[in-house]
Amino acid sequence: MKLIGIYNAEGGLTGELSYVWKKMLGGNHCELCDITHSLVFPKKKWTELVDKLHINIQVIHLNERASALKSLTNGKTPCIVLSCEGSYEIIIDTTDLKNCKGEVSRLENLLFKKLPKPSA
């Protein structure tokens, strides 16, 4: 089981620069980026959360999605997907991320509510 966060932005140097430029001009926006990063660098609280979670979490860009993920998430990014035994499920959608208001602690609370509980 792992989590895959999908940014609403393209990866690579050109994609990153384009996103930052558009964000500064009030255009492009990604609620997951707001949670995980200050303008360019990862937030310390985000890094701490990733270390604290007992589940692998990966964040990727639009152009880094595998075809199955692309089919599931097209037009639904940013989001967080649960990957388990070859299947994918969006467990945190754009609205959920928007309601986090850029705060890692809100996402942490949401993750603990949405993640499957370990079986005894």
Supply the pTM of this predicted model. 0.85
- Higher local confidence (pLDDT), 22 or 53: 53
Tens-place pLDDT, residues 63-96 = 999 999 999 999 999 999 999 988 999 999 999 9
Residue 117 pLDDT level (bands cut at 50, 70, 90): confident
User: Does position 116 have pLDDT exceeding 90, yes or no?
Assistant: no
First to last CA, the chain: 16
Radius of gyration of the chain (CA): 14
Better pLDDT: 22 or 50 = 50
Cite the DSSP H helix spans in 1-120. 12-24, 31-36, 44-52, 67-73, 94-99, 104-114
**What is the distance between the alpha carbons of residues 69 and 90, in angstroms, rounded to a whole number?**
10
**Which domains does the chain carry?**
2-113 (3.40.30)
Arithmetic mean of pLDDT over the chain? 86
